[in-house]
Amino acid sequence: MNAPDLKTPLPGPKAKALIERDAHVVSTSYTRDYPFVMARGEGAVVEDVDGNRFLDCAAGIAVNSTGHSHPQVVAAIIDQAQKFLHMSGTDFYYEPQVRLAEIFNEIAPFDGQKRSFFANSGTEANEAAIKLARYTTKRYGVIAFLGSFHGRTMGSLSLTSSRAIQRKGFGPPLAGAYHAPYANCYRCPVGKRPDGCAAECLDFVEDQLLVHLVSPDEVAAVMVESIQGEGGYVVPPAQFHQRLRDLTTRHGMLLICDEVQSGMGRTGKMFGIEHFGVQPDMITAAKGVASGLPLGVTTARAEVMSWPPGTHASTFGGNPVACAAALATVDLLRTSLMQNAADVGAYMMDLLKAVQEKHAVVGDVRGRGLMIGIELVRDRTTKERATTERNRVVEACFKRGLLVLGAGRNAVRLSPPLVLTKEQAKTAVGIIDAALGEVTGAAAR
């Protein structure tokens, strides 16, 4: 399918009708940035119920890693569905779950033998990680970072700090949750420059949190995103993760890397942490792991994941059909799509850097592979956040046939399917260029 190809005003009549039905029966807690109503998709192209085709650079919030309905993934789903749909891997055994655990034993970004727990989503994978860290260390504290997003269930929500609205009305949070500044080189929390960075933002952990709020020997783990997702697609310097690894090792804390959005090939490597030369003790994965089917994975060093039967389980986690989809997904990532993410991502970054030169509202372009953030500012010197402008750019892209999403307060995130071609990347950047021009009235400088 070619895209964009818009046949009706947006939203079209069928889309309007479904959106009206939704308003009467679906939870008001959902956030919808624009009125796109999905009908079908193929690769990096989606079609709405009115026949309008869009280039998809959102991928169901970074979920459709192999594109929409990849034939190899669909075939694996059908094959497994014809055998059995469910048997609960917490009480019984089946090949797809065991094989997927073996695969994660191969691909998890740390040495030694590993074990995996299977859930249904990223937040459940993070809940499992929190529980496992507390159980294994016999400590209660968990440190996370400002701007983080780890999920919306109560344990993971207590570590989430992306936006106050996500936490408002649900307090008090999990006891023992602490937050520190994340290393954002564009907006350094301690006023340093990237060329002289020694991850001084982590001084807050050692000189403040571990001195005034919690003893180091009461902290079970530090949970960190290798690249912040919801917080704005923020790429930290390598020193941040390296120093964090040293800190956790010295104090006997587990290092948990949340790879829910940055994992499964999106950054051009299987997991984002591989860009930084650090080995965590545990990772969590979801989103792109099964190309759209619900699956979350918590993988830890075998000696860490040694809790006895009954301590944690999930009826639907590791569903055999989802595991089959994940096995097909990993095969595609390993054979072609991870490299495509690296190649097309680098090409797209170069194009976006040129757009940055053209539009003063673009303060920063950053990312790895096909995980790219565009931060919009009203002034490049003061870095005042262009919040309303960002929202208008997202909407203007939609009106031109491109699906993108916001991240943080003022960034646009690009998280397309990893099948995206260079031609499609060029089309997407051209639409973003036009949307920026419309919103800001900017001409080439």
| DSSP states of 20-37 | HHHHHHS-TT---SS---
In the predicted model, is pLDDT for residue 408 greater than 70?
A: yes
Task: Tell me whether residue 3 is in a domain.
Answer: no
**CATH number, residue 282:** 3.40.640.10
Same domain for 281 and 396? no
pTM for the predicted model, two decimal places: 0.95
Same domain for 234 and 382? no
Q: Where are the alpha helices (DSSP H) in 275-421?
A: 320-332, 338-358, 387-399
Per-residue pLDDT tens over the stretch 227-252: 999 999 999 999 999 999 999 999 99
pLDDT at 442: 52
pLDDT at 329: 98
Per-residue pLDDT tens over the stretch 285-339: 999 999 999 999 999 999 999 999 999 999 999 999 999 999 999 999 999 999 9
In the predicted model, is pLDDT for residue 189 greater than 70?
A: yes
Same domain for 19 and 91? no
pLDDT at 1: 75
Same domain for 242 and 152? yes
Same domain for 346 and 327? no
Task: Tell me whether residue 221 is in a domain.
Answer: yes
Same domain for 31 and 93? no
Backbone φ/ψ region at 367: left (φ over 0), alpha (ψ -120 to 50), beta = left
Task: Tell me whether residue 292 is in a domain.
Answer: yes
301: tokens are: 């060093």
Task: Tell me whether residue 159 is in a domain.
Answer: yes
pLDDT at 166: 85
**Binning pLDDT at 50, 70 and 90, where does residue 213 land?**
very high
| Measured distance CA(227)–CA(222) in Å, rounded | 15
pLDDT at 445: 39
Same domain for 195 and 293? yes
Same domain for 64 and 137? no
**Binning pLDDT at 50, 70 and 90, where does residue 192 land?**
confident
Mean local confidence (pLDDT), 89-96? 94
Mean local confidence (pLDDT), 60-80? 98
pLDDT at 444: 39
Same domain for 28 and 79? no
- The rounded mean pLDDT for the chain is 96
The boundaries of the domain holding residue 370 are 13-70+336-440
Q: Where are the alpha helices (DSSP H) in 359-445?
A: 387-399, 422-440
Same domain for 19 and 128? no
Mean local confidence (pLDDT), 414-440? 97
Domain total of the chain: 2
Peptide bond connecting 294 to the previous residue in cis, omega within 30 degrees of 0: no
Same domain for 324 and 379? no
